[in-house]
Structure 1
Amino acid sequence: MTSNGTPENDIPRRTVMARAGAVGLTATLASAGLPAAAALPAEEAAAPATGDAARRPKGWQRYVQAPSSRTVRPVRTVTTSGDVDNAEALLKPGGATTVLRRPRPAAAPRWPDGTTAEASSTHAGNNGNDGQPRTYDAANAIDGDPDTFWNDDTVGAFPDVLTISAPQALRLAGITVVSNSDGVPTAFTVEVGRDGAWQTAATIVDNDVIQRAVPFASPVTTDRVRITVTAVQDTPRGDFTRINEVWPAPVEPIAVPSVTVDFGKVVVGYPRIRFTSASDNSPGVRLAFSETRQCLTERSDFTRSDQAGGAGQGTDQFAVPAGGADWTDHKGFQSGDKIFADGLHGFRYLRIALDALPADAPAAQPWGEVAIDSVSLQFTGYLGTPSTYRGWFLCSDDDLNRYWYGASYTNELVTDTFRQDDVDPRGAWSATLEGKLVLHDGAKRDRDPYVGDLAVSARTLYLTHDDTAEAVRNVLADLAAHQRADGWIPPASISNYTLPLFDYPLYWVTCGWDYVLYTGDSAYAAQHHPNLVKVLDGWYPSVTDESGLLSKGLNGTGGYGDYAFLGRTGRVTYYNALYVQALRAGSRLARLLGRGADAERWSARADKVAQAVNALMWDAAAGAYLDSTTGPARHAQDGNALAVVTGIADADRAAAALAHLDATTQRPYGNAFMDNDTLFDQASQRVYAFTSYPEIEARFLTGRAASALDQIRRTYGWMDENDPGITHWEGIGPGGSLYEGAYTSMAHGWSTGVLPALTHHLLGARPASPGYATWEIRPQPGDVDWATGQLPTPQGPLRVEWDNSDQAFRLTVHAPAHTRGSISFPGDAHRQGVRAGRRTLWDGRRASMRGVGVTGGVVTVSDLGPGSHSFVCERDG
């Protein structure tokens, strides 16, 4: 099968068989599935299951991760700080309350009039979200306004120096440095001017607090203070020093009362807090969200205001009225242009603090008392309860089961309605998508439906909740409606459908074929065939060189990005392998519509591109395809995997390419997407589950089930075992880290490829023609003892069960009405016999009836119809 679900008979398949316990199945061979001679008496059916099979655990439902209702509550408290009573009460509504208290702080110390400040560098000013100019000069650090700050302009180059000069000498016991949460100085020295020279008064290391009191060993009299920053907290916005205020006295902060609760896994939706009462000074509450404890600070790991320049400064705010309130976090201001909240969030951990932004005074104050009855979330993703699953999976390996349902839950989090207040603020809102069901890319960000992500997330949806396939069609149709005149198709609605990506129009083609393949919706194919012609015969030929290969840089595409915004130019194997896949997908769509000329033209072009890839991109010395013919030699996971999946690589090249990836990219947390660091630093340590999926497919398709399962266990095992657990990450960085720090999405639909991989290749069931009119069962058990599962089809469920032991492989298929299919058995055809009940269909040398034969070295039973079919494949010693 290619990655878009169609047979590719030229790809060799060899299965590595592992030891397993003998397990039986109960089923019968339906006479409708084989020619008349194959009909068997009932007493010749396979024997009932005994032993291990009888003790097999039941209930795939126990692995389902979604909440049981749309009201989700935290499962535990994690930490508290400051004056907090009865934090555990937050977990149980209707009883005792949690109380947070904070005394009114004293006024901040001020420098005398005439004090000046200078800095070693200053970032250029810009306009804020309100359109008003913002400055970042040194004077902001002594203006008494904690909402403004000095911002250096060195981007990680240290030292950064701030010098404060008073009009007359002051007696100082120390100073206080108040910094911005995304520019906290972690290491700095404080010097004072004395006798015409600078003397060190204090040295600070490992600072991680916004308000840092710096007492001197003894008071000094001086008119000058110099702060030299040598390290800053690494943040998604870069390594800038941002100091809001420097006070001429050491002021220890009053501990902010806070409670952090844990929802047990990543959730998505609108937080809700029931406040029973508050003091009468409008005490403020600030909410910080994070998918991981590692990135949980006084600000959220990510909020849409980070991209929109909003007023929240990394948290959501609410001023609690004295009578209390039942508050749901929706986007907007509570009072005029003050007290802003972002609304929907994706997170696992929630920190609730009694605090307020200085800019929100007097509408919200950072002191007083609030009493809280309960905290919950209004869940907005697809609610995937056991009753909603139309496809499921279960096997003898508990870890694989967790990964499969973790992928499903990850995808449920991003299956949501497109809403203006909840999507990426960078020009992603679209009137043509508003109110429609879509598949976003991530739960917390970017919350925009990207077509490349659908190459994985849509398959996950089709195999679990295919009744929501409209989410895919809505996205594909909307992108087609915004196709450019030259044929290019936008990757998403972001930037008003203008984000220039080179590869994503190809995913629009392959995802369109997938949609038709799984749903049988030929009307979609007919409606969008003109778009297909424009992109395949218009835009991509405009970026094709004399060899027939796509070459990024032609036709003004040098600045175009791809799925990871990689700096690749010229001929790139990945782009061209994906082009082959898209051309073949387009050919199948055209053939479905009876457009033979289009189908032949695209099929012939696919063959030509494949030949050119082999001729020009193969690196015989490395035994792998080059990433690009431009720049230093490197070999990428994406291009090599797709070359195998699409059949560009013959058996020898497939074996060599996969061996090269084995030798150069294996990490404890998956396989890296590059074999060296010539593209960017530590590229060889970065893992994308998105590009790992086709490599896992390639290993299954070439009979390497053992290595496919090993890669799954390393990649998905790492994500499952590390915080936040269950959900699948956008990317993994060096050492298994969050590859973009707090900005990283920890629940990303494009990383759910383990689910279609296990269903289509381990269990072995997949559609072979649109709407499952024909299907194929080709299990690759590896070291798994047994597996069972169900695939939803337009005609009803397709169910498969198999048991694997040293002695035999037993398989039963329950096929829906109006479908036909084939079954291929793992292992060497000439070292096994296949029977149905007592009837031998294959004895290791010849078949006893038509419809039974050897394809690609394995025994295949073809043209099976609706009903139940059971087989036993017995192996020679």
Structure 2
Amino acid sequence: MPSSPTGEEPRTPGTPRRTVLRAGLGGAALAATGLGLGAGPAAANGGTPPQGGGSWASYVQGPSSRTVRPVAVLRTSGDVTRPDALLKPGGGTTVLRRKQPAAPPRWPDGTTAAASSAHAPNNGDDGRPRTYDAANAIDGDTGTFWNDDTIAAYPDTLTVTAPAALRLPGITVLSNADGVPTAFTVETWDGSSWQQAASVTGNTEVRRAVPFASTVSTTQVRITVTADQATPQGEFTRINEVYPGLLPDDGIPRVVVDFGKVVVGHPHLRFASASAGNPGVRLAFSETLQFLTDRSDFTRADQSGTPSQGTDQFAVPAGGADWQDTKGYQSGTQVYADGLHGFRYLQISLDALASDAPAAQPYGEVAIDAVWLDFTAYLGTPASYGGWFLSSDDDLNRYWFGAAYTNELVTDTFRPDDVDPRGADSPTLDGKPVLHDGAKRDRDPYVGDLAVSARTLYLTHPDAAAAARTVLADLADHQRADGWIPPASINSYTLPLFDYPLWWVTCSWDYVLHTGDTGYAAAYHPQLTRVLDGWYPSVTDSDGLLSKGLNGTSGYGDYAFLGRTGQVTYYNACYVQALTDGAALARVLGRDADADRWAARAATVAAAINSRLWDAASGAYLDSSTGPVRHAQDGNALAITAGVADASRAAAALAHLDATTVLPYGNAFMDNDTIFDGASQRVYAFTSYPELVARFRSGRADSALDQIRRTYGWMDRNDPGTTHWEGVGPGGSPYEGAYTSMAHGWSTGVLPALTNELLGVRPTAPGFAQWTVAPTPGSVAWARGQVPTPHGPIGADWRQLGDGTFTLTVHAPKGTRGTVAVPDSGRRVTVHVDGRTAWNGTEATAYRATSAGGRMLLRGLGAGTHTVVVRPAR
């Protein structure tokens, strides 16, 4: 998850929270148009391709079993023999050897260190404060470090003073992998002034030996840092040790293996043997090669304060061992492993933490005869798919199944040992299926993310729909007395977000719409009433709009912890969507008074948005009615999909986004940088999803396809490939560096966009009792697919021919009826259904055919297989 609500460091503004700008249109708003939303829930696994089939199964990305092995050895260093044996079970052993290293030089007793700044202490897991002052850089403990506190206000200085003069040929700087100084100078004191001894630029090494031009006799060494690598929260210098001398190459044996794509679960190593003394093995994980260093790109220990130093440790006994990496200590409070990881690359090193002696030693010999992963997430195989998609565009097919796999990685069981350590564990969730936000992090179910990831789940693996219900019900069960619903279990259900209770409403309708579970709707109608008639009216101003800041909400965040207050288009468009979806839920239950009240309020809020937040000069909705003028992707897209914008405003808003937000790697979520620096270079697939829906539904299919190809093509082509990123930053980089989740459920909106909009299959009544098939083909030549429903699968197969003919075959299960809307592009056409004329070129002859908005609507199609043919009229 992008955001770090209880992290040690301040969060970068705009760091997403978990949000989901769920793809456009709330389910009820869609259903009300007769061109519904979503796709289906619970039925047939597998499924035979409709008419002509296709090789959709070849695109499935999931592993064939829960034992997942690496596919390649990428590199080795140090003394490593037969590394390829790690790829072949029973193919021999990989041996790592290391001689006992010499102890590094130490500063003499009485040496002191001072710094220009130091980060304030934080409490660790044991409740004791961890300090970050300068003394940590000379204490001989590589597990502590000096951390500046200037957040990029360089220069920063670290000065080491010895009690007597030392002769130094140079120094060695050991840094934390997330605080490496990239540019610094080293000066020595000659008794009267500082003399520069060395200058370093472009450094990326965690351990950097810095030789002087000649040996220097001095009592003081000063390091001045002028640049540092970016971290998720800013730039920090983190120096673990400064050694008085030049350390030789560390000689640590390492081997890096590649699992081919991001995987998630418990790493598993089998050791055939080891030398005496329990040589240590350290595992470092990363989703990308860029951030594969001597520490993992992320571990939960980074947030919990456990002294893991960013790797998982194991002390190998002489007789060998079969080690599954699960959370905990191997020897008292020594040799810690973090357990479950989401990663693509694994580095295995023969090494040990100094603090783990004598339980583990950083030298010796270990023989490894197997390495694999015990996969814990949903195992998506061709047999498990209830829905699928295939088209004439191979890229779109790959993105669809990449989204399915990304979502499988976050569909898992809630376990205390591998969820977010910041107060997320909950006995009401333990052991239940859930949809986490990310495979690597944060690993907590957020309701905003469900607005995308749950819909992806319903369209692919309806047998797992309980994972969505678990989350929705649990959050409703923790509703606050004033009606506010928590966004997730993190912080013991107290993280204050302004927008997520609205997403709970929309996701609840989504769930009922796709699964037909009206029992859920009845059980949680009281919570629905309290949030819509209690909490949100308490933050509504005299203009009838939600206004963040009222009722003590100035400190509330949103999906990206954005610093916006007052009347914000995004919040209010979400409100319209939630009121519309809440009305649909109420109507299903026969609670017409509630439905009428909420529908009327939705219309009132929509009118106020158009009156107060439309910027006629720019032809787009303002992000906020106060502060600098800017226009956001989230508010403009949702205003269209929630039905706030009429056709002319929708066209203008999309044109504005075209003119101001288009990047090689997607569409930015803001049109300028007035909310934070770099906002106009940041892309969230999460907030891009409703824009895709808006483009399809506004008759701009090719612009939607272009946006898909830029957004998902970028992620597909760049490391780690296949899976969909939490966010993309300037230049197309992971937007929060190593911290970024590279497999995030809220970014899978390409899947429902292609199934619901391009293929065109959506439910319009709970459980798909009523449905619509309304293809929006754009330049795609053909598409076919299957959508699961409680009644059985709905199949759709369409094709555009060169002579202007459009054919569509729909297979609908028993107990359902629907509407077909085929493109006629405003031309004079004839339409036949199963060989029977439905439109003769000028008027309807069957199926109450109506031509409107570039489509021919055909109503009342029942169960069975129907073929629709549209031809230019002669």
- Alignment equivalent of 1:817, drawn from 804, 809, 814: 814
Q: Deviations over 1:670-714 (max 9, x none)?
A: 111111111111111111111111111011111111111111111
Match of 1:33 in 2: none
AA in 2 matched with 1:869: H
Q: Distance in 1 between matches of 2:79 and 2:231?
A: 29
Q: Cα distance 1:858–1:108, how it changes in 2: closer, same or farther (>3 A)? A: closer
Gaps of 5+ in 2: 1-22, 36-48
1:867 and 2:852 aligned:
no
Q: Tell me if structure 2 keeps the 8 A contact 1:12–1:702.
A: no
Match of 1:24 in 2: none
CA positional deviation for 1:140:
2.7
- Alignment equivalent of 2:614, drawn from 607, 615, 618: 618
864-873 or 173-182, larger mean C-alpha shift: 173-182
AA in 2 matched with 1:740: E
Match of 2:429 in 1: 433
Equivalenced residues, count? 838
- Alignment equivalent of 1:533, drawn from 508, 529, 536: 529
TM-score under structure 1 normalisation? 0.93
Q: Deviations over 1:330-357 (max 9, x none)?
A: 0001111111111000001011111111
AA in 1 matched with 2:339: G
Match of 1:600 in 2: 596
Match of 2:45 in 1: none
Match of 1:469 in 2: 465
1:735 and 2:735 aligned:
no
AA in 2 matched with 1:95: G
Q: Deviations over 1:302-350 (max 9, x none)?
A: 1101111111111111111111111000000111111111100000101
CA positional deviation for 1:830:
4.4
CA positional deviation for 1:128:
2.7
Q: Distance in 2 between matches of 1:65 and 1:682?
A: 34
Match of 2:751 in 1: 755
CA positional deviation for 1:6:
4.4
Q: Tell me if structure 1 keeps the 8 A contact 2:838–2:847.
A: no
Aligned runs of 1:53-202 on 2, under 5 Å?
A: 58-202=54-198
Q: Cα distance 1:257–1:596, how it changes in 2: closer, same or farther (>3 A)? A: same
Match of 1:51 in 2: none
Match of 1:773 in 2: 769
AA in 2 matched with 1:678: T
1:262 and 2:258 aligned:
yes
Q: Distance in 2 between matches of 1:532 and 1:608?
A: 19
Match of 1:387 in 2: 383
AA in 1 matched with 2:756: H
Q: Tell me if structure 1 keeps the 8 A contact 2:827–2:872.
A: no
Q: Deviations over 1:273-292 (max 9, x none)?
A: 11111111211111111111
User: What is the alpha-carbon root mean square deviation over aligned residues?
Assistant: 1.9
Q: Deviations over 1:405-443 (max 9, x none)?
A: 011000000000000001000100000000000000000
Q: Cα distance 1:833–1:219, how it changes in 2: closer, same or farther (>3 A)? A: same
CA positional deviation for 1:364:
1.0
Match of 2:338 in 1: 342
Q: Distance in 1 between matches of 2:26 and 2:116?
A: 56
Q: Cα distance 1:238–1:619, how it changes in 2: closer, same or farther (>3 A)? A: closer
AA in 2 matched with 1:835: H
Aligned runs of 1:807-846 on 2, under 5 Å?
A: 807=803, 808-828=805-825, 830-846=827-843
CA positional deviation for 1:876:
4.7
Match of 2:13 in 1: none
Q: Cα distance 1:112–1:858, how it changes in 2: closer, same or farther (>3 A)? A: closer
Match of 2:218 in 1: 222
CA positional deviation for 1:11:
7.4
Secondary structure in structure 2 of the residue aligned to 1:424: coil
1:591 and 2:613 aligned:
no
1:280 and 2:276 aligned:
yes
Secondary structure in structure 1 of the residue aligned to 2:460: coil
- Alignment equivalent of 1:786, drawn from 782, 785, 792: 782
Q: Distance in 1 between matches of 2:866 and 2:120?
A: 72
Match of 1:34 in 2: none
1:3 and 2:37 aligned:
no
Q: Distance in 2 between matches of 1:325 and 1:185?
A: 39
Q: Distance in 1 between matches of 2:385 and 2:813?
A: 17
Q: Cα distance 1:201–1:647, how it changes in 2: closer, same or farther (>3 A)? A: same
Q: Deviations over 1:363-388 (max 9, x none)?
A: 11111111111110000110010001
Q: Tell me if structure 2 keeps the 8 A contact 1:283–1:367.
A: yes
144-153 or 287-296, larger mean C-alpha shift: 144-153
Secondary structure in structure 2 of the residue aligned to 1:259: strand
Match of 1:723 in 2: 719
Q: Tell me if structure 1 keeps the 8 A contact 2:231–2:736.
A: no
Q: Distance in 2 between matches of 1:859 and 1:251?
A: 76
Gaps of 5+ in 1: 14-26, 29-54
1:245 and 2:241 aligned:
yes
Match of 1:703 in 2: 699
AA in 2 matched with 1:389: Y
Q: Tell me if structure 2 keeps the 8 A contact 1:275–1:373.
A: yes
Q: Distance in 2 between matches of 1:10 and 1:774?
A: 12
CA positional deviation for 1:8:
5.3
Q: Distance in 1 between matches of 2:859 and 2:123?
A: 68
- Alignment equivalent of 2:645, drawn from 640, 645, 649: 649
Secondary structure in structure 2 of the residue aligned to 1:692: helix
Q: Cα distance 1:856–1:117, how it changes in 2: closer, same or farther (>3 A)? A: closer
CA positional deviation for 1:792:
0.5
Q: Tell me if structure 2 keeps the 8 A contact 1:618–1:624.
A: yes
AA in 2 matched with 1:851: R
Q: Distance in 1 between matches of 2:407 and 2:144?
A: 40
Q: Cα distance 1:620–1:323, how it changes in 2: closer, same or farther (>3 A)? A: same
Tell me which structure has the larger Cα radius of gyration.
Answer: 1
Q: Distance in 2 between matches of 1:10 and 1:611?
A: 18
CA positional deviation for 1:122:
2.8
Secondary structure in structure 2 of the residue aligned to 1:523: helix
1:558 and 2:580 aligned:
no
Q: Deviations over 1:477-516 (max 9, x none)?
A: 0000000000000000000000000000000000000100
Q: Tell me if structure 1 keeps the 8 A contact 2:123–2:305.
A: no
Secondary structure in structure 1 of the residue aligned to 2:296: coil
Q: Distance in 1 between matches of 2:438 and 2:80?
A: 34
Secondary structure in structure 1 of the residue aligned to 2:590: coil
TM-score under structure 2 normalisation? 0.93
CA positional deviation for 1:2:
6.8
CA positional deviation for 1:57:
8.1
Q: Cα distance 1:448–1:194, how it changes in 2: closer, same or farther (>3 A)? A: same
Q: Tell me if structure 2 keeps the 8 A contact 1:411–1:461.
A: yes
